[in-house]
Every structure is written in C-alpha cells, then in structure tokens.
C-alpha cells in the first residue's frame, strides 16, 4: 500500500477537547526563567521585568495552562522565599540543578506573567524536603480571602484578591532516585493522602494531581501507581505521567514513532488506575495529567552531578529540527486521541530549556520548529475529538516493530473540521479521508510544517527557516477529501461542513 486512508464519522466521538491539553511548563532550571520569561533591563522587558516578546510568543502558541515552579526544583524549594519584596528575598542553593537561585522571580511575578499570557496556573508543592503544613500554608496564601496569617501576608504583599489557583500537583517525580527527598510508593501514597486531605479543608474546590511514575523505564513503573493510588485514590483527581522522547537513541524510525510509547503509557496508566478503582469499589474515574512531555536527547545529558554551580546556566538547550516538529505533532495527536482520559498536559519547558521558544540575553526571541505544531493544534482543535480510523502503510522500527506511517486525529466544532496528521515516513504520502456523515464541504485548506531537509532548524540568524506553509492540491470529491502529506511532516487539514 502506497497511500493511507482515514475514516471519520461525527457519530463516533472520543470526548471534548480539553483546553488544558495545551499546557506548558516554567521551572527554575537553566535559562527558562532568568533571561527566558524574566529579564529586567531587556529592551522588551515590562515594568515587572517580564519579556514582552516571550509573552507574545506564548500567546501566539496558544498556551492554556502552565506548571510551576517545578519539576525537580520544587522538591527543595521554600515557597516563602519567592514572595514579598524582591530585595528582601534570600539567595539559595537549588540542589536539583546545582544552581544559585536569587528568588528574584517568584509566585507574584509568575502570576503577573500568567495573566499577561492568558493562561491558568498548575502549581506544584514541595513534598520532598517539606510536607503537609507547608502545602496547606501555601494554599492559604494563594486562595483564602483574608483574616488569617498567610492570607493577610498576601494582602500585605499587595495582592488583595485571592489568586484562586485550582490545580495543584502533590510533589514531583517522587519515585526518582535523583529527587531531593524521594519516597517509596508507600511513603508517598500516605503523604499524598494526608496533604490532599489538609489542602481540601482549606479549599474544597481545588483539583489535585498525585505523582505517577517519572518515566516508563524506571523499575517501579505501574506498581508505583497501583500502590500510591490505593492510599489516595479518593482524595485526588489526576495521576501524573511524564516522558521524554530521545532524538539521540540511534533508532531514527523509532524516534519518529515515539507516539507509540506515549499511547502505551497512557493506556497502561489508565488500566492501573481503573484496576485500583475496581479494587476499592469506587465509581470515580481518574484522569491523567501528562504534565511533562517533550523531545529531549536525554541520553546525552551527563546528569545533575555533572553540572557546576551557576546562576541561570545554559543547560539542556536543544536545537530542534523538522523531524522533532513531526514527533511533537504526533504526541499532540496522541493526547487528543485520549481526550476522554487525559485532562491536562504540559510540554516541558516553555523557554530555552528543551523549549519551543528560544531567547538570547539582551537579544531576540524566536520560534523553534516544535513551536508550530503546538500552535496549530492549540489554535484549531475545538469541540469534540472524533474517533480516527487509520489504514496506512507500515514502517519498520527497532523499538516498536512495524508501526503505521500515518498518525492522525480530528476535531469537529459546529461544522468546522480540523484534521491533524503526521507522515512519519520519508516519502510523500497520499491520503484519502472518508467524511461519511458530514454535510457538503464549503471550503478546504492544507497547511504543513515540513522542509526538503528534515534536519532543518530555526536559529537566531535564520529564525524563520521552518514555518507553516499552505499547500495546494487538497480536494473534495463527494464525501472524500484527498491530499498529499510531505515526507516527515506535520499537517493541518481544515474544512467547513454545513
């Protein structure tokens, strides 16, 4: 078979498009914060020291939620260091990334930046070196109206109205031996339960995320989720999932097919959570918060101990190519195809550190290749996700065996159809989309992120080498839409059906 077929029917839905699927992540790591989102004195800085150029790019990208302040950073973080007058904040050692943390950027600056972007916070609490009391105190500071120690301190700091933060992560990657204050599943499960109980006493309207496994390769994967959830299932709303997909693994076809691993992980975590629900006799169904995901050549990273103490060093600043954009597009498609059970997703990170946005101190900001599939998906995925039945040629991979060369998702919103498709192969792929059940089309368009060189990148000198471009040739014939997808490409096909 040299062509692919995609069958769609509006009668068969996965679920509504969750806006929180288009989340990002700002961690005090490398240059994500300092000279990334925050750089006082920069020509583009506002009165708060926030880079307007980065704010504009985050808005263009369509970011809806942002996880903060970590990541590994949070497990040694004292939130009180990041509130109040900046001149009075202490400088600390960050043990996660061996960085000198000035705390010039903290909770207030983050919330001001977030309002400018138009996104909501996903806040993480320290369950590594701290615990129930500190998490409760932070929630009181952010969400309680006033008249208490911590809410009055927020008011004293110039913020009269509560921040009203709804989503809270109960720690970060607590299974990881690299984590400061890591725990066994039993230890963490009990701590998560008690922390959730206390936090809900302060604000019963919040949504809580329990830590799942830090990746699928850690020996305790799946058994960790089962044990943790037996302790805290009824107190939480989400179980987290994290994964990074390695461009330097040596198996190029397997790398292009990284979405296979994401799909297996989502289905495995769902199965584990539902097993615990059955065991506990609970009718509640947890969702997944896939709150760390991206392409990252982590096999090249020497580990935290290889880093020297520094303030905002250049670490893990990946230069992304067209192939990376195709992989990121396929991961976004996989999240959409599981919209019934994945409620939150955060691409890590937003600026400089394995990021869609790059900046230079005192200089420009620009879009990396992976910016574009995110922006196109966040901008056009609306309404209901339809079940996408794919029939496509197979491609061989060392990691997953044979996989379809095409991965696709579709959304339908008041007659507006958006089809997101990735050609993982190295040849053009003709595609036929069966539009049974849809009215007659009144318009069709095709936009692609591709290049003759799949290794093409955007750089400071050539920031617009790779951009979305319109393709001619997409056509409607009765209830069939036909197009040709370029090699190793992310594609958006749009149609109006009324």
Q: What is the pLDDT of residues 404-419, one digit of tens each?
A: 999 999 999 999 999 9
> What are the tens digits of pLDDT across the range 303-332?
888 899 999 999 999 999 999 999 999 999
Confirm whether pTM is higher than 0.75.
yes
pLDDT in tens, 224-257: 999 999 999 999 999 999 999 998 777 899 999 9
Q: Is 105 exposed, middle or buried (0-12, 13-18, 19+ CB in 10 A)?
A: buried
β-bridge mates for residue 346, sequence order:
23
Residue of 39, 109, 140, 292 marked catalytic: 292
What is the rounded average pLDDT for all residues in the chain?
96
- pLDDT tens for 41-100 read 999 999 999 999 999 999 999 999 999 999 999 999 999 999 999 999 999 999 999 999
Please compute the mean of the pLDDT values over residues 342-360 and round it to a whole number.
98
Determine the average pLDDT of the residues in 328-357. Answer: 98
Per-residue model confidence as pLDDT tens digits over 186-233: 999 999 999 999 999 999 999 999 999 999 999 999 999 999 999 999
87-106 pLDDT, tens digit each: 999 999 999 999 999 999 99
Question: Rounded to whole angstroms, what are the CA distances from 40 to 34, 44, 56?
Answer: 9, 9, 17
The question of whether 173 is a catalytic residue gets the answer yes
From 27, 120, 173, 225, active-site residue: 173
Peptide bond into 494 cis (omega under 30): no
**pLDDT mean over 426-444:** 91
| 292 catalytic residue (yes or no) | yes
Whether 1 shows a pLDDT value over 80: the answer reads no
């Amino acid at each position: 078979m040299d062509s692919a077929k995609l069958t769609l029917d509006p009668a068969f839905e996965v679920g509504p498009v969750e806006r929180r699927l288009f989340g990002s992540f700002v961690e005090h790591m490398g240059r994500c914060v300092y000279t990334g989102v925050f750089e006082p004195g920069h020509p583009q800085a506002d009165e708060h020291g926030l880079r307007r150029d980065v704010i504009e790019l985050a808005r263009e990208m369509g970011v809806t939620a942002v996880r903060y302040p970590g990541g590994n950073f949070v497990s040694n973080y004292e939130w009180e260091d990041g509130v109040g007058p900046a001149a009075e904040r202490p400088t600390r050692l960050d043990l996660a990334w061996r960085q000198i943390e000035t705390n010039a950027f903290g909770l207030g600056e983050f919330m001001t930046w977030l309002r400018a972007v138009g996104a909501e916070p996903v806040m993480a609490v320290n369950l590594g070196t701290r615990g129930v009391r500190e998490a409760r105190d932070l929630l009181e500071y952010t969400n309680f109206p006033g008249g208490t120690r911590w809410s009055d301190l927020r008011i004293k700091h110039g913020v009269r109205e509560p921040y009203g933060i709804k989503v809270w992560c109960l720690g970060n990657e607590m299974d990881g031996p690299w984590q400061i204050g890591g725990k066994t599943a039993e230890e963490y499960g009990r701590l998560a339960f008690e922390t959730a109980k206390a936090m809900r006493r302060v604000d019963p309207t919040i949504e809580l995320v329990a830590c799942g496994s830090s990746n699928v390769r850690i020996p305790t994967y799946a058994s960790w989720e089962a044990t943790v959830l037996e302790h805290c299932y009824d107190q939480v709303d989400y179980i987290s999932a994290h994964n990074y997909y390695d461009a330097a693994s040596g198996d190029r076809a397997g790398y292009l097919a990284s979405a296979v691993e994401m799909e297996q992980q989502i289905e495995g975590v769902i199965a584990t959570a539902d097993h615990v629900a059955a065991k506990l006799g609970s009718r509640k169904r947890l969702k997944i918060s896939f709150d760390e995901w991206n392409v990252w050549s982590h096999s090249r990273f020497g580990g935290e101990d290889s880093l020297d103490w520094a303030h905002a060093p250049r670490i893990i600043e990946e230069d992304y190519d067209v192939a990376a954009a195709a992989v990121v597009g396929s991961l976004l498609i996989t999240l959409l195809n599981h919209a019934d059970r994945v409620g939150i997703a955060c691409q890590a990170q937003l600026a400089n550190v394995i990021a869609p946005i790059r900046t230079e101190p005192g200089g420009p900001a620009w879009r990396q290749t992976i910016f574009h599939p995110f922006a196109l998906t966040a901008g056009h995925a609306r309404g209901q996700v339809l079940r996408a039945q794919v029939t496509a040629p197979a491609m061989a991979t060392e990691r997953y065996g044979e996989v379809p060369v095409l991965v696709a998702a579709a959304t339908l919103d008041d007659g507006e159809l958006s089809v997101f498709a990735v050609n993982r192969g190295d040849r053009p792929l003709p595609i036929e989309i069966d539009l049974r059940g849809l009215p007659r089309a009144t318009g069709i368009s095709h936009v692609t992120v591709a290049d003759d060189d799949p290794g093409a990148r955007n750089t400071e000198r050539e920031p617009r080498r790779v951009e979305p471009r319109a393709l001619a040739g997409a056509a409607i014939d009765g209830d069939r839409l036909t197009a040709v997808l370029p090699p190793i490409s992310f594609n958006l096909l749009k149609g109006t059906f009324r």
